[in-house]
Amino acid sequence: MFILIKQAFKRFLTKIFDDAIRVEYQKAGLIKKNIALEGGDISYLCSNTGSLVNQSGGVLLMLHGFGAEKDIWSGFARHLATSLPMLIPDLPGHGENNQDFEVDYSVHSQANRVYKLLQALNVSKVHIVGHSMGGAIALRLAHLYPEIVSSLVLISAAGAEIKPGVLENIVDSRDLNPLVDVKNKEDFQRLIEFCMSKPPYVPRPFFNLLADKKIARFDIDKKIFADIAADIDQSGHLDSIKVPALIIWGDQDQILNVADADYLNRHLTGSYKIILPGIGHVPIMEDPRQTALHAKYFLEHLAL
């Protein structure tokens, strides 16, 4: 009987949580859609007004980081309030998409899948906002398909690790990866503390739901991380990228060293750099308003 009550309570909490997420979509002017592509369906968010097709000013494409999903952008998108139509997909292997252990999740392969998504949606021009792994994918897209990329906003972007971060040192010394080795709620709490200097408040019942969700991803996250790690370095492609770029980084980032922001700034011609004091690896959650305002100014005044 206790187990049945516990399961019913978890279903109840999940419904409340999902309802809260839908409210966040509404506040940001987003709706959820799904599209069938070769290799599997892609779940995505897009602006609830207008069309993505043949927009002369381009579409704002947001790419999340490793182990994350499209929902992470809701607060950022709400504060951004841009006139550009938004497209926010779950990257393959993440979120509501299928978890396929036979798929290659390398940066190159993910970039090509995003390009196929854009083709399927008849999107011809994009301004890309990429966080962490999504930043590396954004860089590879700009290198592979320069004709479609109008500008880049790189937030704590992977792909140019010139100086080890705290995480890399921990993985080397203890053979543990806090981003992957999440097997219980204590590990999940440790992950939050590594990723964010100022994590948003999450009520304990919802924290437990999120922890269970992350724990269930252990095997697929291990596979995805290995594929990404083998193809993460984008430094050889930077000089070929000629579009306006904004680099945003938290000075308390323990995952990717803030020195990487300087490297990107030097090698992306004409790029701009903003360092956020007191912020960790996830500015879009730690301070979504400030991060969005920086991106908004860049997109409206400098990404021309």
Greater model confidence, 39 or 289: 289
Query: CA–CA separation, 165 vs 181, rounded Å?
Result: 18
DSSP string for the chain: -HHHHHHHHHHHHHHHHHHHHHHHHHHTTEEEEEEEETTEEEEEEEESSS-STT-TT-EEEEE--TT--GGGGHHHHHHH--SSPEEEEPPTTSTTS---TTS---HHHHHHHHHHHHHHTT---EEEEEETHHHHHHHHHHHH-TTTEEEEEEES-SS---S--HHHHHHHHHS--TTT---SHHHHHHHHHHH-SSPPP--HHHHHHHHHHHHHTHHHHHHHHHHHHTT---GGGGGG--S-EEEEEETT-SSS-THHHHHHHHHSTT-EEEEETT--S-HHHHSHHHHHHHHHHIIIII--
Structure-model confidence comparison of residues 80 and 51, the more confident one: 80
pTM of the prediction?
Answer: 0.94
Are 108 and 122 in contact, with CB atoms under 8 Å apart? no
The Cβ-side half-sphere exposure at 232, using a 13 Å CA radius, reads 18
> Do 171 and 259 meet the contact criterion of CB atoms below 8 Å apart?
no
pLDDT, one tens digit per residue, over 14-29 is: 788 787 888 888 898 9
pLDDT score of 55 more than 70 = no
Task: Name the DSSP letter for residue 43.
Answer: E
Query: In the predicted model, is pLDDT for residue 48 greater than 80?
Result: yes
Q: Average per-residue pLDDT in the chain? A: 91
* pLDDT tens-place string over residues 145-204: 999 999 999 999 999 988 777 667 777 666 788 999 999 999 999 999 999 999 999 999
Check pLDDT > 80 for residue 2. Answer: no
- Give the model's pLDDT for residue 163: 75
Percent of the chain with pLDDT over 90: 77
Domains and CATH numbers, the chain: 59-302 (3.40.50.1820)
pLDDT(4) > 60: no
pLDDT of amino acid 9: 57
> Is residue 12's pLDDT more than 70?
no
pLDDT at 170: 72
What pLDDT is attached to residue 38? 86
Q: What is the mean pLDDT of residues 91-105?
A: 95
Q: Which of 17, 27, 65 is nearest to 47 (CA)?
A: 27
pLDDT, mean of residues 110-117: 98
Give the model's confidence band at 81: pLDDT under 50 very low, under 70 low, under 90 confident, else very high.
confident
